[in-house]
């Protein structure tokens, strides 16, 4: 029941010492319905997407919400690790046609697919979808070949200087680093490229601010403050590119949850020495 995909996936049967065949259903990942916070974040991110952009995004409620808000856009392209149902919906609507890409123009480039049976049926023997080795999909030198790359990723915590933690909660590893840095760097080098870190403003049922004065002890920096561009929450977007520490803190506090802004302002002065 495995789809036959085009791209780097053809291997001659003579290269195998043994072959075992079994029919088994593929794992199904349901399209995220999203909540009010995810939808608000999706709308804020969608406002940063321009017609003709080449998208990269992950999986989950926020990426799905972003994709659901792009139905009025035109001529979008895709060069991404993951091909999901949210992307497929935009392909079917003609929003994504890959016409503005320079690397495999007219083709949707991806590394793997995860979603519904409809998605798997779509990629089956479809030459419009190119599956490539992740070493190529995530190669910064290849990503930057496309103009207007828009890399959309998530995070667990962001500090007031713009450092992004996406793989751990303190010293506890939560997930792998993934391709976040590859695509943020590639977008930064792309002609007209931009990148977004999208996250809810709070965690733990609203008791913790994801925008923190400093990262939790032991937290890993996945995206450095030298590479970060837009940070987006349900309260808006902060453009940190080329900004001073003071400007960064002001912009991030403005999109933090209102319950934490006063404390963050005090921390900006007491911890960072920033007089806002």
pLDDT tens for 250-267 read 999 999 999 999 999 999
- Give the span between the Cα atoms of 130 and 116, in whole angstroms: 18
Per-residue confidence band for 276, with pLDDT thresholds at 50, 70 and 90: confident
The β-bridge relationship of strands 77-83 and 108-113 is parallel
DSSP for the chain, written as a single string:
-----EES----GGG-S-------PPP--PPP---HHHHHHHHHHHTT--TT-EEEE-SSHHHHHHHHT-TT--SBEEEEEEE-HHHHHHHHTTSB--TT-SSSTT-EEEEEE-S-HHHHHHHTT-TTEEE--HHHHT-HHHHTTSTTEEEEEE-SEEETT--EE-SEETTEE-S--TTHHHHHHHHHHSTT-EEEEE--SEETTTTEESEESSPPTT---SB-TTT--EEEETTEEEE-TT--HHHHHHHHHHTS-HHHHHHHHHHHHHTT----
In sequence order, what are the beta bridge partners of 151? Answer: 56, 195
Contact 190, 144 (CB under 8 A): yes
Paired tokens of 36: 């009010």
Q: b/e string for 25-49 if b means 16 or more Cβ within 10 A?
A: eeeebebbebeebbbbbbebbbebb
The radius of gyration computed from the CA coordinates of the chain, to the nearest angstrom, equals 20
Per-residue confidence band for 60, with pLDDT thresholds at 50, 70 and 90: confident
**Which among 59, 29, 37 has a CA at the least distance from the CA of 154?**
59
Residue 150: count other Cβ atoms within 10 Å of its Cβ: 27
The answer, yes or no, to whether residue 58 has pLDDT greater than 90, is no
Residue 143 pLDDT: 98
pLDDT tens for 191-250 read 999 999 999 999 999 999 999 999 999 999 999 999 999 999 999 999 999 999 999 999
- Give the span between the Cα atoms of 121 and 29, in whole angstroms: 14
**Which among 98, 105, 103, 164 has a CA at the least distance from the CA of 137?**
103
Active site residues: 81
pLDDT tens for 112-155 read 999 999 999 999 999 999 999 999 999 999 999 999 999 999 99
């Amino acid at each position: 029941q495995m789809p036959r995909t085009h791209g780097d996936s053809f291997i001659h049967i003579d290269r195998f010492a043994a072959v075992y065949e079994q029919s088994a259903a593929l794992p199904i990942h349901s399209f995220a319905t999203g909540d009010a916070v995810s939808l608000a974040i999706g709308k804020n991110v969608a406002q940063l997407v321009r017609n003709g952009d080449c998208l990269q995004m992950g999986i989950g409620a926020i990426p799905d919400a972003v994709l659901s808000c792009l139905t009025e856009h035109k001529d979008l392209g895709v060069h991404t690790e993951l091909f999901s149902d949210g992307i497929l919906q935009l392909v079917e609507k003609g929003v994504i046609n890959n016409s503005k890409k320079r690397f495999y123009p007219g083709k949707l480039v991806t590394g793997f697919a995860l979603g519904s049976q409809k998605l798997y049926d779509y990629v089956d023997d479809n030459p419009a979808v190119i599956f490539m080795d992740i070493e190529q999909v995530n190669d910064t030198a290849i990503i930057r070949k496309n103009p207007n790359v828009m890399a959309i990723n998530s995070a667990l915590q962001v500090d007031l200087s713009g450092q992004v933690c996406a793989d751990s909660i303190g010293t506890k590893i939560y997930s792998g680093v993934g391709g976040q840095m590859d695509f943020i760097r590639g977008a930064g080098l792309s002609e007209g490229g931009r990148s977004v870190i999208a996250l809810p403003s709070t965690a733990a049922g609203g008791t913790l601010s994801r925008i923190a004065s400093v990262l939790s002890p032991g937290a890993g920096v996945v995206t450095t403050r030298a590479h970060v561009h837009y940070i987006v929450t349900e309260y808006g977007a902060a453009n940190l590119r080329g900004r001073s520490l003071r400007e960064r803190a002001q912009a991030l506090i403005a999109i933090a949850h209102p319950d934490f802004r006063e404390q963050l302002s005090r921390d900006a002065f007491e911890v960072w020495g920033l007089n806002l």
